[in-house]
Amino acid sequence: MKTTGSGRLRRSRTVDVWAKHVLNLNPIFVDAINSLEQHAEFVRTPPLPAAIFMFQRDVANHYQYALTHYLCLSLEAPFLQNSSLGSPYQKWAKFTNDDFQLLAFSVHGLLRYTSRLVHETTCRALEHATRFDEMKSISNLYTSPILQIRNRSIGVEVHADHTLSVTAFGPELVTTQWDISNRSAIDEIRERCDAELASLSQLTRRFRSVCERFYSQRPVVDDFDAMNESWWT
């Protein structure tokens, strides 16, 4: 992840599902780093950065598990045969979807909590500087996808017709369908997901360092009166 001259991480606005990063989760992690690093004085909810770090770790852990548990199994695997769940493909699809649904749950939680941090810090800083157009633009980067995840999940889903869909994060969620009747396509998916996961893990380590600096000057647990907004529900 490149930095600007000020050391601020550069956030890509472009969504290309089959570029380097399949689910396009990097911007969520980058925004957490930039918001806390640049505007920590505006934080109204002291435990919020720690909660975001927990969700980042949940995303990384569930992403890793989803990639290594069932996704790349051969349909010839003995434990997929003669299952009460149906054909080997049906059993494989069921557990693959279960794994990615847990990943989606973690991603959606991270999205909401990161949005809260961005609104408490970056948006408040822009408001304070009377840069209202920029504030609205940044706010919409989160409120729009949060509305969309009420109807579909960010992540991977296997379908009964031997296709697989990938829904990536962005101001507009982008869904791409892949034919997996030739299962070599799954190897490509796995390879690109591995690259994304490695990048996310690196960003999580950086956010941890930013959190440690933040909490060196204040308690992790403290009272606050900031409340949830409707756009996070």
Q: Are 77 and 89 in contact (CB under 8 A)?
A: no
In tens, the pLDDT along 133-158 reads 887 888 888 999 999 999 999 999 99
Residues 10, 122: Cα–Cα separation, whole Å: 15
Task: Tell me the C-alpha to C-alpha distance, in Å, between residue 38 and each of 116, 168, 183.
Answer: 15, 27, 45
pTM metric for this prediction: 0.89
* Residue 15 predicted with pLDDT over 90: no
Residue 105 has a CB neighbour count (10 Å cut-off) of 15
Residue 35 belongs to some domain of the structure: yes
Residue 32 belongs to some domain of the structure: yes
Residue 97 belongs to some domain of the structure: yes
Residue 94 belongs to some domain of the structure: yes
Q: Return the residue matching tokens 């956010």.
A: 207
Q: What's the chain's average pLDDT?
A: 89
Strand-pairing partners, residue 166, are 156, 176
Count of domains observed in the chain: 1
How sure is the predictor about 73, in pLDDT bands with cuts at 50, 70 and 90? very high
* Residue 19 predicted with pLDDT over 70: no
Residue 232 belongs to some domain of the structure: no
Residue 212 belongs to some domain of the structure: yes
Average pLDDT over residues 157-177: 94
Residue 148 belongs to some domain of the structure: yes
Residue 95 belongs to some domain of the structure: yes
In tens, the pLDDT along 29-40 reads 999 999 999 999
Boundaries of domain holding 141: 26-219
Contacts 24+ apart (CB under 8 A), 205-209: 206/9, 206/33, 207/29, 207/32, 207/33, 207/36, 207/49, 207/52, 207/53, 207/56, 208/53
